[in-house]
A and B are shown apart, each in its own frame.
Chain A
């Protein structure tokens, strides 16, 4: 254990050392202390709506199966046979009655219980099936967001999410009264450390610079709405590494301001919806189609980002996978969901007009951070005018790095096991 890096060495309140992105030993420690001892987002309820539905995914580097059993309970289980470790399922998703290991045929139920072992008499009395289920993680759900953890001692999901919960509630108003459902995803990798992406979802500062070419491709009204740096938005530290960045304050609560004029780009859609829905509902749907005006960063791997879920997965110290999951209205009008899909395609994913430019910036951060020694990454933007709300939450202007400082504060708590130091407001 002596060659373990000391995480404190990498971080100060307003800066990080460049090697925080590229120290392999630090990465190994993160995979243990952060990804095995915190609530990690694994799925949205709509991905496994029916009994028998499952998906395969990861908790940090660990392959898992997320399944719904006959009674409707969700299980998150290591994708590892209890005999000699073969993965028991390699499908992305599906519906099944059991998981049968392809190597020697051990069969597991949807809850992971070991049901069948071929030629069991070869073990005599030495095999207690009840003690050999697929290893179950702890699972909890909030507003359809399913989280899992290896750690049975950490506080429950409710207290972990804490002040982020009302923001999750607001984000889910994009269902316009219908439940939110996932509608497919864009998945891509970039050659850089996962924390570079974690920072980016709470970085309004880059938007008008990196996304110039995206802004060129939208109408003037949309450009004006997205011209939020220097505006009245804010970034707020929600505790536990979570933060919210409000870019468009008028679009925080999608059920409010329903009499605001319909943006020009949605007029045609509104006309079509008016054939089926009353005016009030049309306005609610239109506001939902446009998405929320904020990014909610949930430490360490999920962001509810304006109109989609952003999920990160560290693949290695210098390789990260990002998923941009499209969401829509489950049962809502097809034309409204189509509009959401087109908006998602326009900005997100490896061929969008936004994401490739983000990826280029992250790629460069990773490569640049390899240059030289002892040169800090600055995290001090917005610190000069950062203040505390009545409830104690730190906040600053929309382009402040308050959300990054929040994430790194939690990073240090997780990495050292020591409580956060009180920071100077």
Chain B
């Protein structure tokens, strides 16, 4: 039974909503135990392990990132920036029944210390069907500005 676009979009919309509302512990539960959250520095990179990324998080690093945002001990994240993100332009690139690859656009605004900033990105998800429902096995955020200078991002893109 294939994964429908509606199912996939429902999951990543839930992810976006959890991240914008600071529900980071719930966010952790959306990933498979072996899942990765990746933000490459090189827009063409595929072999993420052998290149430098902005983030290359396994389950342990994701949990640490959440702890950092909620722990109140990081001056850039106390409190974390407020964000509003929009996902759109969904396209199912592949679907073999239990696994699918979905690509979409994300536009995000952040507000922190009286300053608004924005980031546009292409996001590719690999979603898998598990006994606990549909989960994220890979999220690759290709920032439009990845090759240029960013500003500090003390939240989860």
A-side contacts of B41, CB under 8 Å: 184-186
B52 touches A326 (CB 8 A): yes
A185-B41, A321-B149 in contact; A334/B74 too (CB < 8 A)?
Answer: no
A212 interface contact, C-beta 8 A: yes
A316 an interface residue at 8 Å Cβ cutoff? no
* Contacting pair A350 B73 (CB below 8 A): no
Contact of A341 among B42, B51, B61, B68 (CB under 8 A): B51
Does any Cβ of B come within 8 Å of A258's Cβ? no
Question: Which one of B53, B54, B76 has the greatest number of beta carbons of chain A within 10 Å?
Answer: B76
CA distance A344 to B53 in the complex (A): 9
Query: Known: A213-B73, A351-B39. Is A344-B151 also a contact (CB below 8 A)?
Result: no
A355-B51 in contact (CB<8A): no
The answer, yes or no, to whether A217 is at the interface (CB within 8 Å) is yes
* Residues of B contacting A187 in the complex (Cβ-Cβ under 8 angstroms): 148-150
* Interface pair B73/A92, CB less than 8 Å apart: no
A160 interfacial by beta-carbon distance below 8 Å: no
The verdict on A194 contacting chain B, using a C-beta distance below 8 Å, is no
Interface: A10 (CB within 8 A): no
Question: In the docked arrangement, what's the CA distance between A367 and B23, Å?
Answer: 31
- Contact check, A189 vs B75: say whether CB atoms are below 8 A apart: no
Let me know if A341 and B73 touch, CB within 8 A: no
| In the complex, per-residue mask of B127-157: 1 if CB is within 8 Å of any chain A CB, else 0 | 0000000000000000000011111111001
User: Which of these, A190, A334, A349, A361, contacts B75 with CB under 8 Å?
Assistant: A361
- For the complex of A and B, the 3 pairs showing the least CB-CB separation, nearest first, are A184-B52, A213-B74, A356-B152
Kindly state the interface size class of chain A when it binds its partner. Answer: 35 or more
Q: Does B26 contact A (CB under 8 A)?
A: no
30 contacts between A and B (CB under 8 A): A184-B41, A184-B52, A185-B52, A186-B54, A187-B150, A188-B149, A189-B149, A190-B151, A213-B73, A213-B77, A216-B68, A216-B73, A217-B64, A217-B67, A334-B50, A342-B56, A344-B52, A346-B61, A350-B54, A350-B150, A351-B54, A353-B64, A353-B65, A353-B68, A355-B152, A356-B152, A359-B152, A360-B75, A360-B152, A360-B154
Knowing A344-B52, A351-B54 are in contact, say whether A357-B151 is a contact too (CB < 8 A). no
Determine the main DSSP class of A at the interface with B: helix
The count of chain B contact residues (Cβ–Cβ below 8 Å) is 32
Residues of B within 8 A of A213 (CB): 68, 71, 73-74, 77
Residues from chain B with a CB closer than 8 A to the CB of A189 are 149-151
Looking at the assembled complex, report how far the CB atom of B110 sits from the nearest CB atom of chain A, in whole angstroms. Answer: 12
CB distance from B40 to the nearest CB of A (A): 10
CB proximity to B under 8 Å, residues A53-93 = 92
Residue from A210, A346, A356 in contact with B77 in the complex, judged by beta carbons closer than 8 Å: A356
How far does the alpha carbon of A359 sit from the alpha carbon of B153 in the complex, in Å?
A: 10
Q: At the interface, yes or no: A183 with Cβ under 8 Å from chain B?
A: yes
Cα distance, A350 to B141, chains bound together (Å): 14
Asked if A159 is at the interface of the complex by the 8 Å CB criterion, the answer is: no
Asked whether B49 is an interface residue with its Cβ less than 8 Å from the other chain, the reply is: yes
* Smallest CB separation, A44 vs chain B (Å): 14
Query: A345 interface residue, CB < 8 Å from B?
Result: yes
Let me know if A338 is at the binding interface, CB within 8 A: yes
Q: Which residue of B lies closest to A334 (CB)?
A: B50
